Amino acid sequence: MDWIDTLLSCPPNRNVPSDGRSPFQQDADRIVFSSAFRRLQNKTQVHPLPHTDFVRTRLTHSMEVASVGRSLGGQVARKLPAALLGSHPHLAADLGDIVAAACLAHDIGNPPFGHTGEQAMQHWFDEHLGLAVGDGELDEAEQTDFLKFEGNAQGFRILTRLQMDRNEGGMRLMDATLGAFTKYPTGAAAAQGRHADYVGRKKHGFMQAEAQLFADLAGRLHLQAIAGAAQAWARYPLAYLVEAADDICYSVIDVEDGVKLGRISFSEAEELFRPIIGADLGSRYAARTTDEKLSTLRSRTIGSLIDACCAAFVASAPSVSLIDATPHAASAKALKTLARDRVYRWERTVTKELEGIAVIQRLLDLFVGALNAGPRHVTAQRLLDLVPNYPHNAARYQRLLAITDYISGMTDRYAVDMQQQLREIRL
């Protein structure tokens, strides 16, 4: 259990508040009651501006991921050696709470329209970099924050700076929670995309504005720096469990949603779920309705994947996504492929995504244009007054961050409504 050595190099702090909650339960409460978490109820999971209430939003997805994460953490804790628990008596109880809290926050930085919204922002800055950065006012690392705009990095910014912003450290979450949250302990310049040599470098997990905050966190958590790469560290071990919870949910649940939407047949879903479940479903299963069968398949598949991911995590120090280290890797990939082909590429989903791209890019046209218009341009100044706490006299990097904070924090519906309200504005 090599991961234990890393985890115990900085054991979770156990200063329990007077109300009896563990500090990690307190972290979860702070996240749940934050406005950023609340806005996830109207942010895209897969289907922008859905026409049915059944499909998941980012909020319901985050709650489901937290439930799976708590099970993963709790099951791993039950596998800890008794001798270890003698010296760290609270560790077993805390693991599930740490993973669950981080799971609640794992998508808190996503812009409207989900990953399509991220891509829309990246593309806009790629097309308008000169307009955005001005006359050499941003260094290369700062430019990369916008060219590779990333919801994970925005999430770290929300947790540590933007929410509860009167506090130094924002929400002031426990180090273990922030470590588990950070799937990509890497700056934008060190991220290597899909072909990264290490899964923690596929994307980036913090912006230059929070680079020192993360470096300090990495030091306190004793994260190992990646040789030859600036601003890149090994993951905190529990981040693998957070990633696994997310992978399990979208592998299984996107297919369930696809069946409910009529995009995937029940028999197709059942054929892919059964090999993961393995065991016979029993005579009661045969007598159930299709909806009841689908719920049973979803529940049993998630349970099997939790068991397999826990076994993979405990067996060795993880270095890849846990679901890829299980015997079910091929089956999970088949579920993702089916959802991608039948659900993500559904005409209605794609047309709504196109609408979202146009909305986000129009908002960036307006607000970055207003930044460039200067203080004597009345319309531009009124636009910038809409941006919460816009730092008129700050460096350009900070002013651009205020604009991306505002736009990425919008819900899908708010972004559409704002774009419509401003449709006649010309700069």
3-state secondary structure of 179: helix
Please provide the DSSP assignment of 12-73 as one string: PP----TTS--HHHHHHHHHHTSHHHHGGGGSBSSSSS-SSSSS-BHHHHHHHHHHHHHHHH
Whether the pLDDT of residue 49 is over 50: the answer is: no
Looking at 107-150, list the stretches that DSSP marks H as alpha helix, in order from N- to C-terminal side: 114-127, 129-133, 140-147
Q: Which domain holds residue 319?
A: 238-341
H or E, element range at 4: helix 2-8
Query: Where do we find the tokens 């197709």?
Result: 268
CA dihedral 157, 159, 160, 162 (to 10 degrees): 70
CA atoms within a 13 Å half-sphere pointing along the CA-CB vector of 261: 25
CA distance 225 to 395: 30
Token pair for residue 248? Answer: 């399990």
pLDDT tens digits for range 197-235 = 788 899 999 999 999 999 999 998 889 999 888 899 999
Q: Is residue 266 part of a domain?
A: yes
Query: Is the pLDDT reported for residue 247 higher than 60?
Result: yes
Closest CA to 219 of 247, 178, 269: 178
pLDDT score of 148 more than 60: yes
Q: Is residue 258 part of a domain?
A: yes
Residue 297 falls within a domain, yes or no?
Answer: yes
Residue 34 phi, psi (nearest 5): -85, 150
Domain membership flag for residue 293? yes
At how many degrees (to 10) do helices 347-373 and 396-408 cross?
Answer: 150
Cβ 346 vs Cβ 265: under 8 Å: no
Q: Is the pLDDT of residue 13 over 60?
A: no
- Residue 281 resides in a domain: yes
Task: Calculate the CA dihedral of residues 115, 118, 124, 129 and round it to 10 degrees.
Answer: -140
- Write out pLDDT tens, residues 85-120: 666 667 777 899 999 999 999 999 999 988 899 999
Structure letter (DSSP) for residue 186 = B
- Which of 258, 219, 213 is closest to 236 using CA atoms? 219
DSSP structure class, residue 140: H
Return the higher-pLDDT residue of 299 and 257.
299
Distance CA 36, CA 33 (A): 9
Cα distances from 99 to residues 10, 11, 65, in angstroms, run: 16, 14, 10
d(CA 241, CA 373): 47
d(CA 397, CA 146): 10
Q: At what angle do helices 396-408 and 140-147 cross, to 10 degrees?
A: 10
Report how far residue 423's alpha carbon sits from residue 325's, in angstroms, rounded to the nearest whole number. Answer: 50
The residues with which 186 forms a beta bridge, in sequence order, are 232
In this structure, what CATH number is given to the domain that contains residue 273?
Answer: 1.10.3410.10
The residue among 198, 44, 50, 211 whose CA lies nearest residue 119 is 44
pLDDT at 339: 85
330 within domain boundaries: yes
Q: Which residues pair with 232 in a beta bridge?
A: 186
pLDDT digit string, tens, across residues 282-291 = 878 888 999 9
Residue 173 domain-assigned (yes or no) = no
Do the domain assignments include residue 86?
A: no
Residue count (the chain): 427
Number of H helices, E strands in the chain: 21, 0
Q: If DSSP codes are grouped into helix, strand and coil, which group holds residue 233?
A: strand
Q: What is the pLDDT of residues 362-389, one digit of tens each?
A: 999 999 999 999 888 999 999 999 999 9
Radius of gyration of the chain from Cα atoms?
Answer: 22
Out of 25-34, 106-115, 200-209, 254-263, least confident range: 254-263
How many domains would you assign to the chain?
Answer: 1
